[in-house]
């Protein structure tokens, strides 16, 4: 007998509904439903071009800075496509990288302790050893909140506020940091690195970065990441959550992120091979449609016709990190590598942030005014960015000084969007075949669910 189970997933950004189709105790089909329509793309239509710098950071309360950067990239590419050179100082570029990285770090840290660990506790009998991870009361839970709040102060130092800052504009940034600002930021990053070493990996970062497989790490560490991995193996979570083994990253941040699409081999990313499909979406090219088979406000995204996973695991694979190539060989594209990739990214971003902060020359200009008024530009441009949850794409069409059309493809749309005629989304595929609804929710959370980004 077929059984249908619907769950509103908590502990995510916004709300996501998970609909499971059970048969003989096994999940035979899964639907990830984004139930709320927000309409940012429609709000932007007809607005003055620079209004996008204020509006798009409001798409998400967690990764709003990434949306700002995607918009700025699109506006600067609008200049380039029209034949006008945009000059950006090294100082402005460094500040943009630093603030974007700070946002990603805060997301990964909160997600691991607030969203992932509480599920593991449900599989265990509470013991004194694990009580430090109990939400609200646990010592490690509280530390994660403290340090994830600390790193966003770096964004506030340069961007004036977080979330929803709009400090980056075509031509640079509008802040003019002092030596004290940079010193304070380095101090925050240093404290984060120390926290990461003492609490998450249990060793100096130099030693961690030489680790090449999970057995070596578990043997050498007894801190939070190691405890997480041991619990996963204890409950056979190393066998769950396999998706398509296809990975996409749309932009570069040297030496951490490398643009590319990996399907057995790595290929260059080509934006022309990307397609949005509305077969199962309420939102279509012809308007809103509630016919029977449609089930989500999100659209499916395909690259060369195939679903691709985006996010930290994709970034680690496309960057050819030895540890994650080995994890992929041993454990496939499953629950553990997907979560570990997010934790791994924290230290790599912190080390890069410290280097970038030390390279800032405060004598350089923060902003170089473009030589052409943006109101006089017309055309189409893309803005690409790596956000906390993965690859983010903004597409802008401008005519007569106003936004004619704005299209946003978020990381959550790649991973959690609906199916198309041929393929399930990566997250839907990863859930099918499981025999436990809690485990199904854990697999879904391993993609770092954000419904507000999914439907934007």
Q: Which residues line the annotated binding site for Fe cation?
A: 63, 453
**Spatial contact of 311 and 411, defined as CB atoms under 8 Å apart:** yes
β partners of residue 267: 261
Rounded to 5°, angle at Cα 226 from 197 and 259: 75
Binding residues: 41, 60, 63, 408, 450, 453, 456
Phi and psi torsions of 138, nearest 5°: -70, 140
Contact 230, 224 (CB under 8 A): no
Task: Give the residue numbers of the binding site for Mg(2+).
Answer: 41, 408, 456
- Closest to 454 in 3D by CA, of 279, 261, 295, 296: 296
- Give strand pairing partners of 247: 262, 309
Measured distance CA(14)–CA(334) in Å, rounded: 24
List, as residue ranges, the binding site for Ni(2+).
Answer: 60, 63, 450
Which one, of 297, 284, 248, lies nearest residue 14 by Cα? 297
Q: What letter would DSSP give residue 111?
A: I
Neighbours of 39 (CB within 10 A): 12
SS3 assignment, position 147: helix
Compute the Cα dihedral for 99, 426, 216, 120 and give only its sign.
Answer: positive
């Amino acid at each position: 007998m077929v059984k249908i189970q619907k769950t509103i997933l908590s502990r995510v950004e916004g709300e996501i509904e998970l609909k499971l189709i059970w048969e003989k105790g096994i999940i035979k089909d899964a639907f990830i439903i984004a139930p709320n329509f927000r309409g940012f793309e429609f709000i932007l239509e007809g607005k003055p071009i620079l209004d996008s710098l204020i509006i798009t950071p409001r798409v998400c309360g967690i990764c709003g800075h990434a949306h700002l950067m995607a918009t700025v990239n699109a506006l600067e590419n609008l200049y380039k496509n029209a034949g006008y050179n945009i000059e950006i100082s090294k100082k402005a570029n460094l500040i943009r990288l630093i603030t974007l990285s700070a946002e990603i770090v805060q997301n990964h840290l909160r997600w691991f302790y607030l969203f992932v660990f509480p599920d593991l506790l449900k599989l265990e009998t509470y013991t004194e050893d694990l009580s430090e991870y109990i939400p609200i009361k646990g010592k490690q839970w509280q530390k994660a909140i403290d340090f994830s709040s600390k790193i966003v102060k770096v964004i506030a130092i340069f961007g004036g506020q977080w979330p929803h800052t709009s400090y980056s504009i075509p031509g640079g940034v509008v802040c003019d940091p002092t030596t004290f600002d940079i010193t304070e930021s380095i101090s925050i990053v240093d404290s984060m690195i120390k926290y990461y070493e003492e609490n998450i990996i249990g060793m100096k970062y130099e030693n961690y970065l030489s680790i090449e497989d999970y057995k070596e790490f578990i043997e050498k560490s007894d801190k939070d990441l190691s405890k997480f991995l041991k619990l996963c193996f204890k409950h056979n979570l190393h066998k769950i959550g396999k998706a398509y083994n296809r990975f996409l990253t749309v932009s570069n941040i040297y030496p951490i992120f490398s643009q590319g699409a990996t399907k057995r081999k790595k290929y260059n990313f080509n934006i022309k091979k990307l397609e949005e499909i509305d077969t199962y979406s309420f939102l279509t090219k012809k308007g809103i449609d509630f016919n029977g088979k449609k089930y989500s406000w999100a659209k499916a995204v395909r690259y060369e016709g195939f679903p691709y996973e985006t996010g930290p695991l994709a970034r680690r694979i496309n960057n050819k990190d030895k540890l994650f190539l080995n994890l992929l060989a041993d454990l496939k594209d499953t629950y553990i590598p997907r979560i570990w990739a997010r934790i791994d990214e924290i230290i790599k971003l912190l080390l890069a942030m410290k280097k970038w902060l030390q390279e800032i020359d405060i004598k350089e200009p923060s902003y170089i005014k473009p030589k052409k008024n943006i109101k006089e530009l017309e055309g189409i441009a893309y803005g690409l960015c790596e956000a906390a949850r993965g690859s983010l794409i903004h597409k802008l069409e401008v005519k007569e000084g106003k936004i004619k059309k704005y299209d946003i493809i978020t990381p959550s749309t790649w991973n959690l969007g609906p199916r198309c005629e041929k393929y399930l989304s990566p997250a839907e595929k990863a859930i099918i075949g499981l025999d436990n609804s809690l485990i199904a929710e854990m697999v879904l959370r391993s993609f770092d669910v954000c419904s507000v980004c999914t439907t934007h």
